[in-house]
Structure 1
Amino acid sequence: MPQIDAREPLRAARNPLEERKPAQRKGFLGTYGWRVYALPVLAVVTVLVVVQSVTAPAPSAQPAEQSAAGPPPAGGAPASEAAGPGVRENPAAPVDLNGETAVLPNGGDFTPSGTGNWHVVPGSGEKIGTGRVYRYTVEVEDGIDPSSYAGDDSFASAVQGILSDAKSWTADGKLALQRVDGSSARPDFRVSLTTPDTTHRPDTCGFSITYEASCFRSSKHRVLINLARWVRGAKAYGPNLSGYRVYAINHEVGHALGHSHVGCGGNGQPAPVMMQQSFGVADDYVARLNNVPGGDQGAVPADHLTCVTNEWPFPDGH
């Protein structure tokens, strides 16, 4: 979301790796989905079973927050595919993409405040892609209850899986990404799961737009992923929490790679991954939110265009 000090150039921690065969990439959802999202899915299934055993809703009854009205608006795979057949991570509801979509959805509990310090999740990976190599760590703020995000390894697997996917930032052959751990030289950026209160601080993301958001702070080389959004997603994505998480990583890492915010390219088209989809996919609404001191004023035109959600930089894999 907000891009902080993004004009500062990134510098590789060391020269790119010796040229070698790029590692084989597997689709993120097929490789990591059930492990990453098993905990929130089980919680949703438990709630649904309890509700159904106590009440017999009328055929037209819908959950208070969401209800089914056709397929989810997201461009990526639905949550049911990530978590297993017949299961949704969030209950489905019609979403007015031209409405007030920046509000944090209802959902699971999360830790509101941490220590403001992060620890590196151990682990590293092969270089993915060709071209300039960007190295990153995966980190988690100290003081977060791990039950809200299924633990450090789950978050790290999600991040690495997303950035290794053939539809992520390495697809055009211009750059490579590699996960490193704390024993390596300083990484180019640090993907950091962070509590809302820490993201609100003026030295991290700030809170000029008073809705939960993630950001990239270039002066700290830190991609801050807001825990509240990681747990609950965004209204524009409806039930597709897994798709939103893919978007959040790709969008904020996009800032670390030098990309800025953009608007919708055409009515009904998939939103660019650098659109502020945590707030929404309607240009008029996002432009209004940006029009505050500290907002990304002028980045998105008020041109009456509304997209549909999309979580990938290169949805076709090239």
Structure 2
Amino acid sequence: MNRTSQDGRDTAPASDARPSPPDDRYRRGSRRTGAEPLTASWEPAGSRPGPRRRGLKGLVANYGWRIYAVPVLLVLTALVVLDTATPTGIGSAGETSAAASATTTTPGPPAASETPPAKVDLVTIPTAVLPDGPKFSEQGAGTWQVIAGSAPQVGQGKLYRYTIAVEDGVDAADYGGDREAFARTIDGILADSRSWIGTGEVSMQRVEPNQPVDFTVSLSTTGTTHSMCGFQIQYESSCWHPPTKRVVINVARWVRGAKAYSNDLSTYRAYAINHEVGHALGNGHEGCQENGHAAPVMMQQSFGVANDYVAQLNEVDYSNRGVVPADGKVCTPNAFPVAPR
């Protein structure tokens, strides 16, 4: 049976059909007529007739330069994926933040570590020993230079006038390099309401050099202190020297303090001033009055706050022998004669 093509021409029987060239409408670049389906070319652009080669050479021959683009695209794709998956810390102006950098840096040991003071055993250790610390002036000239300046009267009651002096030969580093600042420290201690003016019985006023005074607070070298205060007890201390009306403050204690006060140097200095000025006011030494309570300011706290220990030291000093009873009482350090209200 014969069939008629779309254009009306006869075609050969199917059994006698031979392959014919592709219809023009399926060739690349030809126009499709109406009602015909879309179609794609069977041959890639630039392909050459003939059998395809195999292997790398075959790929190059069949696809040309495009075969080299494949590995480049693979590498770029891998880099993009890796960059997206890796978190980064971004700081201002697009720079890596310190927090992000810190997470990738292994911290090392600090350059310096804190060494807190050990708890002082006020009973069993020799608390009269001078604490470790900076060097201090050991030998001076035995003469003093009064620091110029005055201060208003503070307190009520009998007035005590005073001046402040530094021995010739005391290194400036021992009082912080500023004599006026050193003098203001003394003024501040004596004007404190917890000091002797807080009793309501005395008042204090610093006066200019060459004015009549009741005492002079004198920062002194250890050699001069020993000659004026005695050295029967072989530990550094300060004293009240009645013949010269000097409150002799031992520079060794001013610089290093006392073990009973641990590293609280400023509070110890307040104690030293109040204790020796207390002697200028006519007060003698005392022992711990109540176990566990604040020591009297007139206790020899430079040596310690345990009655048994201080009493033992006083055995070699006839002027203080028996003043402190060996009754086992131990107080806490205290720098002022008047309890805060």
Query: Do Structure 1 and Structure 2 share a fold, with TM-score over 0.5?
Result: yes
Cα 1:165–1:293 shift into 2, 3 Å = closer
1:192 counterpart residue number: 218
TM-aligned CA deviation for residue 315 of structure 1: 2.3
Match of 2:335, SS?
Answer: coil
1:125 counterpart residue number: 151
Question: In the alignment, is residue 270 of structure 1 matched against residue 297 of structure 2?
Answer: no
Show structure 1 runs of 5+ residues with no match.
Answer: 1-50, 69-91
Deviation sequence 1:181-225 (CA, Å, 0-9, x none):
2132x2000100000010011xx1010111000000111111000
2:277 counterpart residue number: 253
2:118 counterpart residue number: 93
TM-aligned CA deviation for residue 148 of structure 1: 2.1
TM-score scaled to structure 2, two decimals? Answer: 0.66
Aligned counterpart for 2:188 among listed residues 158, 161, 176:
161
- Larger deviation, residues 165-174 vs 151-160: 151-160
**In structure 2, what is the Cα distance between the partners aligned to 1:290 and 1:147?**
33
Deviation sequence 1:234-273 (CA, Å, 0-9, x none):
0000011111000000000000001000000111100000
Question: In the alignment, is residue 220 of structure 1 matched against residue 244 of structure 2?
Answer: yes
1:1-318 to 2 correspondences below 5 Å: 53=111, 63=115, 68=116, 92-98=117-123, 99-150=125-176, 151-184=178-211, 186-201=212-227, 204-317=228-341
Match of 2:293, SS?
Answer: coil
2:45 counterpart residue number: none
TM-aligned CA deviation for residue 293 of structure 1: 3.9
**In structure 2, what is the Cα distance between the partners aligned to 1:295 and 1:208?**
10
TM-aligned CA deviation for residue 108 of structure 1: 1.3
**Does the aligned pair in 2 maintain the 1:209–1:295 contact within 8 Å?**
no
**In structure 1, what is the Cα distance between the partners aligned to 2:238 and 2:297?**
14
TM-aligned CA deviation for residue 145 of structure 1: 1.0
The amino acid across from 1:177 in the alignment is M
2:18 counterpart residue number: none
TM-score scaled to structure 1, two decimals? Answer: 0.70
Cα 1:281–1:219 shift into 2, 3 Å = same
**In structure 2, what is the Cα distance between the partners aligned to 1:119 and 1:196?**
17
**Does the aligned pair in 2 maintain the 1:289–1:295 contact within 8 Å?**
no
Cα 1:52–1:279 shift into 2, 3 Å = farther
The structure, 1 or 2, with the larger RCO (C-alpha pairs under 8 Å, 6+ apart) is 1
**In structure 2, what is the Cα distance between the partners aligned to 1:164 and 1:173?**
12
Match of 2:198, SS?
Answer: coil
Deviation sequence 1:23-67 (CA, Å, 0-9, x none):
xxxxxxxxxxxxxxxxxxxxxxxxxxxx952x6x6xxxx85xxxx
**In structure 1, what is the Cα distance between the partners aligned to 2:317 and 2:302?**
19
The amino acid across from 1:275 in the alignment is M
**In structure 2, what is the Cα distance between the partners aligned to 1:52 and 1:187?**
54
**Does the aligned pair in 2 maintain the 1:93–1:239 contact within 8 Å?**
no
TM-aligned CA deviation for residue 295 of structure 1: 4.7
4+ aligned runs moved over 6 Å, structure 1: none
**In structure 1, what is the Cα distance between the partners aligned to 2:324 and 2:129?**
19
TM-aligned CA deviation for residue 152 of structure 1: 1.4
TM-aligned CA deviation for residue 180 of structure 1: 0.9
- Larger deviation, residues 278-287 vs 166-175: 166-175
* Bigger CA radius of gyration: 2
| Root-mean-square deviation over aligned CA pairs | 1.5
The amino acid across from 2:180 in the alignment is D
**In structure 1, what is the Cα distance between the partners aligned to 2:298 and 2:210?**
31
TM-aligned CA deviation for residue 103 of structure 1: 0.2
TM-aligned CA deviation for residue 153 of structure 1: 1.5
**In structure 1, what is the Cα distance between the partners aligned to 2:319 and 2:119?**
29
TM-aligned CA deviation for residue 154 of structure 1: 2.3
